[in-house]
């Protein structure tokens, strides 16, 4: 059993601290936000992450997991100090903002009175390990105290963070102090995962390169999707066919509205910025970002292709979170879609299984006029009176809706499937005008006059719809 302190109780900090406690360690999580810590002490989590609440409760109850706002308390006897504070995009053209990491390092320097290993889990620009070392060294209140710095990037996906922590594909450790890296490796041994020990610069780079590569896969398949749509191929089957090749792999080849969240957008920007700063021209990274930006526009193009003007229309949006199984709204496609649709004079009805509150806050922060947005309790409420439905997040519950009921509630049966969760033939059978992303199977775009579905659906389709009712 080791004594561990985790600085920062965001996704990474809370999951890391709780999982280490669950492995039998004594963990103290520190956050400077008093309200967050007060709530955590009552068992109320600041984020939605499946399984985390129970695990926090179990470990608090067992006396292995503690929360405090005091660095002094957190660092007391800590052998390992994990820095897991945010590194958002800063004001400087995509560079990561290191303010919180530097503050954490300064606070460690003030309180540290014994040897400890400081482990950087936050995603920091290559070379930041040196910065952390320097900040601690320069601010040490007790200059005789020794410490080591290790980089240990995280590879946790929101929504799957617990299983990603417990069953990692690899653990990466970087340090100029091999003994310190070995000590951290021992913490991870029970997970029986491959552990790669390297230098600190390389470890930091592995994190950026991994996220940038996954983002590249997504932008690649989204570009292929556009080509598929034009040439009549179906990108879902293309991805399936490609994915069987072990050299390619099926993961992260889902075409859709592109990547969002707190990681890919920020990390691709930061890596491109680092390369630019180094005098390089990272063409691929810029293309990845451009494709991702354009991808969200497709929804608006598809809507106007079918509905003509959006002025006066009611657009239903299913899903607010940037992906399923999270309430995280950061860089979510839904924000752009709602912004653009309302800017064109449409009103929006929206539902998300868990992200209604975070969604409301995010939309307001983005300056979107909330008078134009109605937050609904169910998907069927969203469909009621809507001229079109847009699937913006691939929540499981959207996959099992009664689509006949959905269609019957709508004013016009237009379904824009931004996450490719439905099949065109089935949706056509229900009487929808269906458009996915990169599914070159539907008929050419047609302008649908308000209230009139017969001209688009054809009598045969309407007939089969009536029959199946």
Interface residue list for ligand UGA (CB under 6 A): 123, 154-158, 211, 214, 218, 252-254, 256, 258-261, 263-264, 322-323
- Please say which residue, 116 or 263, places its beta carbon nearer to ligand UGA: 263
- Check: CB of residue 414 under 8 Å from CB of residue 306: yes
The residue written with tokens 């056509």 in the block is 428
> Phi and psi at residue 7, in whole multiples of 5°?
-100, 115
- Residue 421 three-state SS: coil
Shortest distance, position 287 Cβ to ligand UGA, whole Å: 16
- Please say which residue, 260 or 413, places its beta carbon nearer to ligand UGA: 260
Shortest distance, position 254 Cβ to ligand UGA, whole Å: 3
- Please say which residue, 211 or 347, places its beta carbon nearer to ligand UGA: 211
- Please say which residue, 115 or 213, places its beta carbon nearer to ligand UGA: 213
Shortest distance, position 317 Cβ to ligand UGA, whole Å: 15
Shortest distance, position 172 Cβ to ligand UGA, whole Å: 11
Shortest distance, position 209 Cβ to ligand UGA, whole Å: 12
> Phi and psi at residue 233, in whole multiples of 5°?
-100, 165
Listed in sequence order, the DSSP H helices in 152-311 are 161-166, 178-188, 200-231, 235-243, 264-277, 283-307
For residues 321 and 396, give the distance between their C-alpha atoms in angstroms, rounded to a whole number.
13
C-alpha distances out from residue 339 to 294, 315, 336, 348, Å = 15, 12, 5, 10
Shortest distance, position 322 Cβ to ligand UGA, whole Å: 5
Which among 411, 416, 415 has a CA at the least distance from the CA of 450? 411
Q: Can 263 be counted among the known catalytic residues?
A: yes
Which among 413, 411, 460 has a CA at the least distance from the CA of 434? 413
Which among 325, 326, 270, 264 has a CA at the least distance from the CA of 295? 264
- Check: CB of residue 118 under 8 Å from CB of residue 136: yes
- Please say which residue, 29 or 253, places its beta carbon nearer to ligand UGA: 253
What number of residues does the chain have? 469
Would you give the distance in Å from CA 337 to the centre of its chain?
17
- Please say which residue, 75 or 225, places its beta carbon nearer to ligand UGA: 225
- Enter the tokens of residue 436: 């996915």
Choice among 19, 29, 228, 263 that is catalytic: 263
- Check: CB of residue 266 under 8 Å from CB of residue 328: no
Catalytic residues, which ones? 263
């Amino acid at each position: 059993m080791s004594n561990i302190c985790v600085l920062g109780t965001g996704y990474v900090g809370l999951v890391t601290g709780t999982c280490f406690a669950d492995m039998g360690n004594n963990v103290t999580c520190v956050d400077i936000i008093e309200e967050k810590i007060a709530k955590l002490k009552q068992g109320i989590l600041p984020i939605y992450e499946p399984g985390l609440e129970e695990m926090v409760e179990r470990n608090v109850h067992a006396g292995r997991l503690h929360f405090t706002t005091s660095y002094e308390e957190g660092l007391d006897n800590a052998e390992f100090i994990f820095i897991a504070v945010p590194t958002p995009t800063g004001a400087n053209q995509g560079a990561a903002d290191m303010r919180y990491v530097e503050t954490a390092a300064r606070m460690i320097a003030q309180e540290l009175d014994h040897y400890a290993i400081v482990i950087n889990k936050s995603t920091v620009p290559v070379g930041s390990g040196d910065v952390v070392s320097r900040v601690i060294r320069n601010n040490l209140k007790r200059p005789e105290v020794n410490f080591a710095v290790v980089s240990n990037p995280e590879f946790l996906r929101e929504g799957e963070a617990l299983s990603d922590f417990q069953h990692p594909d690899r653990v990466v450790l970087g340090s100029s102090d091999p003994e310190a890296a070995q000590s951290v490796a021992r913490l991870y041994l029970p997970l029986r995962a491959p552990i790669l020990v390297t230098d600190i610069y390389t470890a930091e780079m592995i994190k950026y390169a991994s996220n940038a590569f996954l983002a590249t896969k997504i932008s690649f398949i989204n570009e292929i999707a556009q080509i598929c749509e034009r040439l009549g191929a179906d990108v879902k089957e293309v991805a399936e066919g490609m994915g069987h090749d072990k050299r390619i792999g099926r993961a992260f080849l889902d075409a859709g509205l592109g990547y969002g969240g707190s990681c890919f957008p920020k990390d691709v920007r930061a890596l491109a910025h680092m390369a630019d700063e180094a005098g390089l021209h990272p063409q691929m990274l810029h293309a990845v970002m451009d494709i991702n930006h354009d991808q969200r526009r497709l929804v608006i193009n598809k809507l106007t292709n079918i509905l003509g003007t959006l002025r006066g229309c009611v657009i239903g949006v299913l899903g607010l979170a940037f992906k399923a199984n999270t309430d995280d709204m950061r860089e979510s496609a839904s924000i752009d879609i709602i912004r653009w649709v309302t800017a064109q004079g449409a009103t929006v009805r929206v539902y998300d299984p868990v992200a209604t509150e975070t969604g409301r806050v995010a939309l307001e922060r983005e300056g979107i006029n909330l008078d134009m947005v109605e937050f609904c309790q169910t998907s069927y409420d969203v469909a009621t009176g809507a001229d079109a439905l847009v699937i913006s997040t691939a929540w499981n519950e959207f996959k099992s809706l009664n689509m006949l009921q959905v269609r019957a509630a709508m004013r016009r049966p237009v379904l824009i499937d931004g996450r490719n969760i439905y099949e065109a033939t089935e949706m056509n059978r229900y009487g929808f005008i269906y458009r996915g992303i990169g599914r070159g199977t539907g008929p050419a775009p047609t302008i649908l006059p308000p209230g009139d579905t017969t001209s688009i659906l054809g009598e045969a389709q309407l007939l089969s719809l009536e029959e199946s009712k």
